[in-house]
Amino acid sequence: MKNLLYIGNNLSTAKTNVSSIQVLGSLLKSEGYDLRYASSYSNKFIRLLHMIWSCVFNSKWADAVIIDTYSTQNFYYAYACSKVCRLLKVPYFPILHGGNLPKRLDKNPKMSASIFNNSNMNISPSLYLKTIFNKKGFDNVSYIPNSISLDNYKVTPKQFDIIKLLWVRSFSEIYNPLMAISVMKHLKDSGHRVELCMVGPDSDGSLIAVKTLAKELNMDVKFTGKLSKEQWIELSRDYNIFINTTNHDNMPVSVIEAMALGFPVVSTNVGGLPFLIDNNENGLLVPVKDIEAMAKSVLDIFNNEGIRNQISIKARQKAESFNWQMTKAQWHSIFKAN
């Protein structure tokens, strides 16, 4: 098996969920690949230096470099590391993350071309980004979805005596956690019994605003903070509908996980979500920031056993296509060909 240097956010703090570098890195290691990582430094400048140094130091050892590539500041990390890889003639593979990456292509076309045109292959976890990149003229894009180990996700029967909403994400403005509180309020004002549990770390300070709104509206919300995957999966057994309130997104693993657990999912219709959820088939999609539409979709599921059973079954079937046992062959093929 090959030696792989993985460049990405390897931080593990109270403010971060498990990152893709930790999930995919562990899965690749289980297949026999030898991995080294950069970077786990919290200081952004030191992290960048460590990433660049790692590319240089491991250039003779690494058969390939994987680079998690996002639309925000991490974009510049990817640019710097890709440049080093080209100078040292090391094959590199950007993984395309983030629903806002298309905007970055428009904002920085020359830097984008430098990164993506010169890579051995760009890996897109979503058909959404693959489609966007192809339209922008990048033909070297391969679709390999985010992977989960399906054995970790057991479907358990759900009780529908009251509405019990589950929200799992980091508290960040981009994911619009305030909408979850407003949806709960709308449902309660309509005369329904509702519970809401919100799971995740406070990424950018949004948790304070969410708790403030819940208190102002007299909504009794359960906030768990950051939980391990095993912990939130265990907790999820007490809830019956999963909501995803994001303003921008690509292919969120938390939604894939919810589908694997058999949850009927109600999500905003943004970014890569319509490539993951077939509306009225394996989930329900609503317009971004549309509180009333999300509340109505929650009620459609809650009040109709036939709809929710169909969605639950097809959601699980969809999640099976993301099983590592199916996607790992694609990674083997990529590395073998390059």
Per-residue pLDDT of the chain (338 residues; tens, 9 = 90+): 699 999 998 876 655 666 788 889 999 999 999 999 999 998 999 999 999 999 999 999 999 999 999 988 899 999 999 999 999 999 999 999 978 899 999 999 999 999 999 999 999 999 999 999 999 999 999 999 999 999 999 999 999 999 999 999 999 999 999 999 999 999 999 999 999 999 999 999 999 999 999 999 999 999 999 999 999 999 999 999 999 999 988 889 999 999 999 999 999 999 999 999 999 999 999 999 999 999 999 999 999 999 999 999 999 999 999 999 989 999 999 998 87
Domain 3-147+325-337: which CATH class? alpha beta
Parts of the chain belonging to CATH 3.40.50.2000: 3-147+325-337, 150-321
Strand pairing partners for 323? 148
By C-alpha distance, which of 167, 296, 262 is closest to 219? 167
Give the model's pLDDT for residue 10: 81
Q: With DSSP H G I counted as helix, E B as strand and the rest as coil, what are the percentages for the chain, rounded to 5?
A: 45, 20, 35
Give the model's pLDDT for residue 13: 60
- The answer to whether 297 and 266 have CB atoms below 8 angstroms apart is yes
Sequence-separated (6 or more) residues with CB below 8 Å from residue 45: none
E strand or H helix at 127, and its extent? Answer: helix 127-135
CA distance 6 to 24: 10
CA distance 213 to 186: 13
Task: List, in sequence order, the alpha helices (H) in 67-125.
Answer: 74-87, 101-107, 109-117
CA distance 180 to 244: 8
E strand or H helix at 253, and its extent? Answer: helix 253-260
Amino acid found at 88: L
Give the model's pLDDT for residue 277: 97
Torsional sign, CA 255, 259, 262, 265: positive
User: Looking at domain 150-321, does it have CATH number 3.40.50.2000?
Assistant: yes
Give the model's pLDDT for residue 32: 95
The encoded tokens of residue 308 equal: 């929710």
The encoded tokens of residue 204 equal: 């950018």
CA distance 108 to 123: 19
CA distance 267 to 258: 11
Q: How many residues in the chain?
A: 338
The encoded tokens of residue 79 equal: 């640019």
